[in-house]
Structure 1
Amino acid sequence: MSLARSRRVVVGSCGDDAAARLVARALLMSGREVVFIGGDQSIEQVARTVVSEDAAAVVLDGSVDDLGRLAARLEEAGVGHVTTSVVDLSDANAAGVTDPTVGMSDPTPHRTA
């Protein structure tokens, strides 16, 4: 496994991408290569991106059910070894966080080379 591949993470969302943006920003700040695909993505679109980018991991802003479907799709595509994680802002929203990008100078993460 190359160093570039071991550091590449796809981050996307099946709906609104607020939590995905936060995760992507944190990963970028930690030195990871992030492929941010934004919101309103289908499980199939996320899986295709993981495969085409030869990513080592994927973070999905969605439900646990979405994550299960993504893991199954990755297994079918022969990349079941990819690390999968889910993030959901519902807990943060319940705690009163209404805009997770407050205080960020540029809340939209960008792909790094």
Structure 2
Amino acid sequence: MSISITKTKPAHEDRFETKGVTIAFTAPTPLTPGLAWRCADHPDPEFFHPVDDAGLAAAQAFCADCPVRALCLDLGHARDEYGVWGGVLLEGGKPLAAVKKPGRPKKVA
């Protein structure tokens, strides 16, 4: 008679195998003294997730003179982020030229 023992992971270990946790370890936010993240104290986080071209222009203007703009954009790419990162609109870490319009695209004749 043989006994088969399967080893399962405890529930608390499964939560460390998610994409978000993996990305947090591979592309952590630098907390170096002297780095001034302009957006850190912004009162509305939805500001960086624009729904129209005017909102995108406002977010890009806000990011225009940020001292860590390049670092922010690099983090957005590395983490496959969504929204405005470093003045660039990202979707899954890929740059978009404009905000996507809601609804189905028009049929091309």
Query: TM-score w.r.t. structure 2 length?
Result: 0.26
**Which has more radius of gyration?**
2
